[in-house]
Amino acid sequence: MSLSPVEGVALAEIESGGDAGAPERRDVLGRSPGQLAWRRLRADRTAMVSGVMLIVFLVLALAAPLIEMAYGIGPREQFQNLLDGFGMPLGYAGGVTGEHWFGLEPGLGRDIFIRLIYGLRTSLFIAFAAAVITATIGVVLGTLAGYLGGWLDAVINWITDLTLAMPFLVIALALTPTLVLRFYGEREQVSSAFGVGVLIGVFAIFGWTSTARLVRGQVIALREREFVEAARASGAGLGHMLFRQLLPNIWAPILVSFSLAVPQFITSEAALSFIGVGLSDETPSFGRMIYRSLDYLQTDPAYVFFPGITIFALVFAFNLFGDALRDALDPKSSR
């Protein structure tokens, strides 16, 4: 998936960190690597600040209906009376008032603040679902390819190359109307849940390659280690080898790649809705808002700033937290 090259960087950094486990430490109290990592994370100020930001974003997204009740305006309500004859919001900065905190959309006159809150919900849901699915696919294919090797490794590698060679945006764009027609037909109203499902599906097809590569590399590095050999020599089966011997040793890089995958999917979702894939205009989404705002850059520049800055803050918080998490889990990495 060539949308965001960040993943490559993150992977290279994880791989360069080498061994997944935390180093041995002479301590009076015995602490597990997990506890040590947690202590390091707690001591990291950036991690705590970005973590709190993420929690605020999550709460805002989860509490969207409650916020709607408190705020008193729904995401689909239109306020045409507050627009001038050309459909431009009256007042300053795109119609910011005590009632409409972030102003109104030009043209339709919907409230920007409540649409951003619901957009956050859409975005986070899609990103988390996609990250969970792709991590699962990536871990399964990566461990199998790395541990079993041979022809299976060759085939999985080739499929990875093939997936990377497909132009992701164009295929996603082309696939969506096809699927919509398959399930709905020419005239039926497409439900917004379907659009969300299509997006998650597209991410699942294209997004697993980086995790698979990372896990494969880690497993290959572990495969020749003594404890793995010892387990194999004592007659452990495939399932035991994968889940009891290998996976517990590589959960740290997987967790880091997961935490860095979420902001990528947020970005990709916005990018896809920006070019008009998946979500209909009904579903509030950052990408759709920014796309619509491009028509009003001259007349209502405030419209592009609210969604633009929100998505920046969200992705920034995730990236900072992912970095801090890597530092905590892998103290040897030299970022």
Partner 1 sequence: MARFLIKRLFSATLTLFAVSVLTFLMFFALPRDPVTGMCPKNCNPERLERVRDELGLNDPLVAQYAGYMKGIVTGRDLGSAQGGHCDAPCLGWSYVTNEAVSDTIARVLPVTLSIVIPAAVLWLLLGVGLGMISALRRGTWLDRLAIGFSLTGASLQLYFVGAVLLIVFVYNLRLLPVPSYTSIFDNPVKWASGLVLAWVSLAFLFSAIYARLSRAQMLETLSEDFVRTARAKGLAKPKVYGRHALRAAITPVVTIAGLDVGGALGGTVITETTFGIQGLGRTAVDAVRSGDLPTIMATVLIAAVFVVLANVLVDLLYAAIDPRVRLR
**Would you tell me which residues interact with partner 1 (CB under 8 A)?**
2, 5-6, 8-9, 12-13, 16, 158, 161-162, 164-167, 169-171, 173-175, 177-178, 181-182, 263, 267, 270-271, 274-276, 290-291, 293-294, 297-298, 301, 304, 308, 311-312, 315-316, 319-320, 323, 334-335
70 vs 165 by CB, closer to partner 1:
165
Q: For partner 1, which is the closer residue by CB, 258 or 303?
A: 303
Q: Is 132 helix (H, G, I), strand (E, B) or coil?
A: helix
CA distance 267 to 126: 11
For partner 1, the closer of residues 35 and 46 by Cβ is 46
Closest contact distance (angstroms) between CB of 245 and partner 1 is: 28
The secondary structure of 205-265 as a DSSP string is HHSSHHHHHHHHHHHHHHHTSHHHHHHHHTT--HHHIIIIIIHHHHHHHHHHHHHHHHHHH
- Compute the residue count for the chain: 335
Smallest separation (angstroms) from partner 1 to the CB of 287: 8
Beta bridge partners of residue 78, listed in sequence order: 110
- Distance separating alpha carbons of residues 28 and 12, to the nearest angstrom: 35
Q: How far is the CB of 296 from partner 1 (least distance, A)?
A: 10
Contacts with 306 (C-beta within 8 Å, 6 or more apart), sequence order: 94, 102, 103, 112, 113, 116, 289
Quick one: 16 or 136, whose CB is closer to partner 1? 16
Closest approach of partner 1 to the CB of residue 325, in Å: 15
Min CB(64)–partner 1 separation in Å: 22
